[in-house]
């Protein structure tokens, strides 16, 4: 007789055992076959200690339990509806003969995958179970209530001998498939290496030139090379900063209204002109100053004119006159700009 069952971890199992006057039959360690509706099968590998040996991880739902010996009241099978059975995790181990067969079918090729026909079907797997059967009432035609428990349901180990399934037969033969592009390149390189037919990127003459240059240069520590590179870069940065600073100062001198512009046009030129007119100054000194004192310039700072030369004005008098005129100038009103701006 087939009957619907409950799992042993159900809350009603504990209540039934504690209820007085309830007759029950308990069986532990029974051999049985469980029906598992397989949802997925994954090909995985073990750790390095086991040489990455492949195995299958089978995931499914418990749908039935068939004890090797019938239970009381003629119960031969306990079934579970969809969503009522527990999750089953089984691990299928390949033996050495099966591994050889998988290798012959192209196990190491990229196209080797788990066949789809292994999923969506019900597998019958060996297991050890416990059973608790409650005796039905004598006055009513009640069916017996059965609670079941599957040992190691989350870690069920199976193989060809225990399950009777040779899963290596379900895998397709990929040994005759065309090699992928990457595999073809690797095989070609391996063939060249074995046949000493590798074509170098450089000729022997070019390799000799490189070796000669390395011998002449001598060994150079990486630390020294890195330090030289940093020093060179610092020198370049300092030169760039100095050039930018000089360019900025030149722009300030040419910008109307800045203190640098006023000093450059109204003070520095007068002082340099006085140095040129000083006794003992030569034509070379005048050339180094770079100042050209043109007659009839827009600004009159007391520089000597032809009339002053004719009247015999002394140099000291002209200096005092130039300084007095420079002191009397009102820089704040010149050209409409203020020194504090």
The Cα–Cα gap between 152 and 90 comes to 9
Kindly list the distances between the CA atom of residue 295 and the CA atoms of 32, 291, 320, 321, in Å, as whole numbers in the listed order.
126, 13, 20, 17
The Cα–Cα gap between 93 and 55 comes to 5
Domain regions of the chain by residue span: 2-170, 255-336
- Closest residue by Cα to residue 25 from 70, 82, 77: 70
pLDDT of residue 289: 46
Q: Which residues pair with 25 in a beta bridge?
A: 133
Phi, psi of 30 (to 5 degrees): -80, 140
- Closest residue by Cα to residue 22 from 131, 148, 136: 136
Query: Helix 315-328 vs helix 269-277: angle between axes, to the nearest 10 degrees?
Result: 170
pLDDT-above-90 percentage for the chain? 29
pLDDT of residue 295: 43
| Contact residues for 256 (Cβ-Cβ < 8 A; gap 6+) | 335, 337
Local confidence band at 155 (pLDDT 50, 70, 90 cut-offs)? very high
- Closest residue by Cα to residue 85 from 39, 117, 24, 17: 39
With 70 as the cut, is the pLDDT of residue 217 above it? no
The Cα–Cα gap between 261 and 268 comes to 10
Q: pTM value?
A: 0.50
Local confidence band at 222 (pLDDT 50, 70, 90 cut-offs)? low
Local confidence band at 149 (pLDDT 50, 70, 90 cut-offs)? very high
Q: What angle do CA 190, 109, 37 make, to 5 degrees?
A: 165
């Amino acid at each position: 007789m087939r009957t619907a069952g409950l799992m042993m971890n159900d809350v009603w199992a504990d209540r039934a055992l504690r209820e007085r006057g309830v007759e029950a039959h308990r069986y532990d360690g029974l051999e049985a076959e469980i029906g598992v509706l397989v949802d997925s099968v994954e090909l995985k590998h073990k750790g390095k200690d086991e040489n990455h040996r492949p195995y299958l991880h089978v995931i499914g739902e418990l749908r039935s339990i068939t004890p090797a010996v019938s239970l009381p009241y003629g119960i031969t099978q306990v079934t579970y509806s969809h969503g009522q059975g527990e999750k089953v995790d089984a691990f299928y181990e390949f033996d050495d003969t099966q591994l050889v067969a998988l290798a012959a079918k192209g196990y190491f090729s990229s196209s080797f995958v788990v066949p789809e026909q292994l999923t969506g079907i019900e597998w019958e797997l060996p297991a050890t179970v416990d059973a608790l059967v409650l005796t039905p009432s004598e006055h009513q035609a009640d069916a017996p209530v059965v609670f079941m428990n599957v040992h190691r349901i989350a870690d069920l180990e199976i193989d060809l001998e225990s399950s009777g399934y040779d899963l290596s037969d379900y895998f397709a033969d990929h040994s005759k498939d065309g090699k992928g592009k990457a595999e073809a390149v690797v095989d070609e390189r391996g063939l060249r290496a074995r046949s000493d037919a590798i074509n170098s990127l450089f000729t022997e003459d070019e390799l000799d030139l490189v070796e000669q240059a390395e011998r002449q240069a001598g060994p150079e520590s990486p630390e020294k090379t890195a330090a030289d590179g940093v020093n060179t870069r610092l020198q370049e940065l300092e030169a760039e900063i100095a050039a930018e600073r000089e360019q900025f100062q030149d722009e300030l001198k040419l910008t109307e209204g800045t203190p640098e512009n006023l000093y450059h046009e109204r003070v520095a030129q007068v002082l340099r002109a006085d140095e040129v007119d000083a006794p003992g100054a030569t034509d070379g000194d005048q050339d180094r100053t770079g100042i050209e004192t043109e007659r009839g310039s827009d600004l009159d700072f007391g520089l000597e004119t032809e009339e002053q030369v004719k009247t015999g004005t002394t140099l000291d008098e002209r200096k005092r006159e130039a300084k007095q005129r420079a002191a009397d100038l009102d820089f704040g009103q010149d050209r409409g700009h203020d020194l504090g701006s």
